[in-house]
Chains A and B, each alone.
Chain A
Amino acid sequence: MHRRSLLWHIFLPFLAVVVLSLVLITGFTSRSLRDFFYDQTGADLTDRALLLNSEIEPMLVQAEYATIQDIVRAKGQASSTRITVILPSGQVIGDSAHDPATMDNHAGRPEITAALTGVHGQAVRYSATLGHQRMYVALPLEQDGRIIGVVRTSHSLASIDSTLDRVQQRIALGGLLLAVFAALISFILARRISVPLRAMKISAERFAEGHLSTRLTMTADSEEIGALAEALNAMAQQLEDRIRTIENQRNEQDAVLSSMVESVLAVNRDEIIIGVNQASCDLLGIEADTAKGKTFQEVVRNPELIALAKAALNSEVPVEDEIVMRRGGERHLQVHATGLQDREGQRLGALLVLNDMTRMRRLENLRRDFVANVSHELRTPITSIKGFVETLQNTPPDEPEAVERFLGIINRQADRLQAIINDLLALSRLEQEESQERLGKEPTRVIDVIMDAVNLCTARDNTGAPEVQITCPGDLHVPANHALLEQAVTNLIDNAMKYSEADSVIQVVVDEQDDQVLIKVVDEGSGIGVEHLPRVFERFYRVDKARSRKLGGTGLGLAIVKHIAQAHGGEVGVTSSLGKGSTFTIALPANDVIDRGK
């Protein structure tokens, strides 16, 4: 749609009015003037004709045509009027300009025709001979009620016409000037309106672009335009307020969503992601900006989540399930998915809330394992005790030595029970500290720990104990819990002693390597088969069950060592050859590690 400038809308009508008025006035005035002049001329000619009448009439009667001609000629020249005398037959008998004998019959001329009927005849004609308009007035000459002739006077209208033309030209020129003047005025008027309007247009455009804080100044002096400017300003203010409110609400909402621990995902009906919070991004390894607008399947590569989202989109009730997420480490997630509805109840999409249950599951598993282990391991000595007690009760042996032996067995089993319970409790405490990362560490001199451990072991086992050799830098320190580290080393040395011959050597070698402190216990004992090596650190795992029980083991020693090492942020390892011996290594971080990289 082509819209024309305001200027044209004002100027053209203005111009049209001016021109129209001019034309009308000119036309009217011209017509009036002309009529007036013609009337005047007609009256004048009539008077001149009348003047002649009295003179010519008697001559007509006498038929003194030559005299008439002379008079006509003389009078015509004197008054600059063309005079013609015509007989009722139409014959011209006197003319002031031409020889009457050469002139043709004038009966047909309209003014003559009219005069011949007895009325005053008048006509205006263009004369070809003379080249201009002339007016003819014809008066009948009567004698006794009978028309005896016609006197016709005529005058050129040329001067009148040219005068009138000149007047019209002057008016036209004046009109042109007026039109220019009108253009100027309309231009000014138009600008008066359009300039403030244009300013308002620019302001409105700026509002549309979002710069709502600028305001229009009232430069217009017309009430309507001023009112419009005020209205625009008010609108801008309102918009600004509304937008600010909306932004605040959105910021609050974003803050809530992004600080939530639970992962939130929202999809629309076409399974396109419309919203994710920070927790989801961390969980799924995605970015919020790139995820929005992509399909759920593309971003979440977990078949169960995809199925849940689909189910929630189509279900009337919320859908819940527990799934395992395998990408980036195994995680157990509880998913709660609901359909999203708008106010009219139309399905908009679905919302998924994911709760990370991994830690809880892990703790549950630990607890379950613990209970299972406890029941199993405790049952064995208790069964044994009960068996012997029942035997003593029901069929007491005859010899007192037998009774002694039985009681001894019962006592040992009770000791074993106690040892197992102590070890289990220590282990569970370690695991708790490990998971809560609450281990009291301080710089500990390694040689002290080793000496304490060796002393404890050699004190326990005096008979046929293998020799223990220590190789350890005197000033090496490591961040550790002294008591726990001592217990770990004790367990290792204890094991070494149990499974070595009396004349072999046990070495304890401490080393620093690659940011780690390595404590190695090397024995020359029976060694461990390669198929058992991955499992020796498991709880209650025994390579040779009979031998272990005989030697008084609880089956938990190495598990305790492993957990102590892990609680320090370190690890354990073992190498062994059957028949040659084993080396157990505890590796601890030489410096305090803040992030254990769990």
Chain B
Amino acid sequence: MQPHLGQAFRHLKKSLFTLSAAVEDNLHVALQALESGDPRLIDQVRTRDLEIDLMEVDFEEECLKILALHQPVAIDLRFVISVLKINNDLERIGDLAVNIAESTPDLMGKRFVDTASRLPKMAEKAQAMLRKSLDSVVNMDAELAREVLAADDSVDDDYHAMVNDIRTLLRQDGSGVDELLSIMVVSKHIERIADLATNIAEDTIYLVAGDIVRHGRHHVTDEN
């Protein structure tokens, strides 16, 4: 019985890594599109995301099949649950990447270049967080995952500062509302991506250490 389970898990891990690599890559292309405005890149992001959606459906089915056929327990069960949740988060990140790419044309007005130029820096932080959180899944490294949790505050601060500045600018001159709103929406997307990366990190901590660290709790389960 065990050899089949082992093989199923190996295959699941492979699928997870393929999927996460695709999402990471697509986000990178979306951010390139944001900076350059190249419509071909925007199309590429959209097309790739369709493939990613299909991959995610397959992945979920794979997980459910393992649960049904093998009824895993203890750390194996934790693993399947965790990657199911990570799969969900990755899907949302993929969609957000598409959203960012598609908002790009609205930002080409170039009136508020100062404000808009803060977006790529914010995005780089979020991207780094995503990369680190996926590294922590691959290497089963809870320390790395905790670093991701710590990095979220910075992105949140950037976002709040952005919202305040936009509010101020809108009060000064309401004519730039289209561009400013697009900027704010994109920054919200980026902040969301950082949050989802944090989710992935939390799922990893649960997987590795059995801790559920969401919502500020540090509840230690005695499984290890």
Contacts and interface: CB of A to CB of B under 8 A. Distances in A.
A302 B25 contact: yes
A297 B111 CA distance: 43
B114 A301 contact: no
A301 B22 CA distance: 8
Given A326-B28, A530-B114, A534-B113, A303 B14 contact: no
Given A530-B114, A531-B110, A534-B113, A301 B21 contact: yes
A505 to B, nearest CB: 29
Given A270-B10, A530-B113, A531-B110, A297 B21 contact: yes
A302 B17 CA distance: 9
Interface in A291-315: 295-298, 300-304, 306
A298 B13 contact: yes
B87 interface: no
A319 B138 CA distance: 28
A303 B25 contact: yes
Contacts of B15: 297
B24 interface: yes
A306 B138 CA distance: 15
Nearest to A310: B18
Main secondary structure of the interface of B (DSSP, over half): helix
Contacts of A301: 17, 20-21, 24, 134, 138
Interface string B109-146: 01101100100000000000001001000100000000
Interface residues of A, number: 17
A530 B115 CA distance: 12
Interface string A244-271: 0000000000000000000000000011
Interface in B1-56: 10, 13-18, 20-22, 24-25, 28-29
A297 B13 CA distance: 8
Interface residues of B, number: 22
B22 A271 contact: no
Nearest to A533: B113
A300 B10 CA distance: 16
A29 B17 CA distance: 93
A326 B25 CA distance: 7
B138 A303 contact: no
A285 to B, nearest CB: 11
Residue of B18, B22, B25, B113 with most partner-chain A CB within 10 A: B18
A297 B25 contact: no
Nearest to A305: B21
Nearest to B19: A303
A295 B111 contact: no
Given A295-B14, A297-B13, A298-B138, A531 B113 contact: yes
B111 A531 contact: yes
A10 B114 CA distance: 100
Nearest to B51: A303
Contact of A302 (B21, B110, B113, B131): B21
Contact of B14 (A271, A304, A327, A531): A271
Residue of B13, B15, B21 with most partner-chain A CB within 10 A: B21
Residue of B10, B17, B138 with most partner-chain A CB within 10 A: B17
A303 B15 CA distance: 11
B123 to A, nearest CB: 14
Contact of B21 (A270, A303, A530, A531): A303
Contacts of B113: 530-531, 534
A302 B14 CA distance: 12
19 contacts: A270-B10, A296-B14, A297-B14, A297-B15, A297-B16, A298-B13, A298-B17, A298-B138, A300-B21, A301-B138, A302-B21, A303-B18, A303-B21, A303-B25, A306-B21, A326-B28, A530-B114, A531-B113, A534-B113
Given A306-B21, A531-B111, 6 more contacts: A297-B17, A301-B17, A301-B20, A301-B134, A302-B21, A327-B131
Interface of B: 10, 13-18, 20-22, 24-25, 28-29, 110-111, 113-114, 117, 131, 134, 138
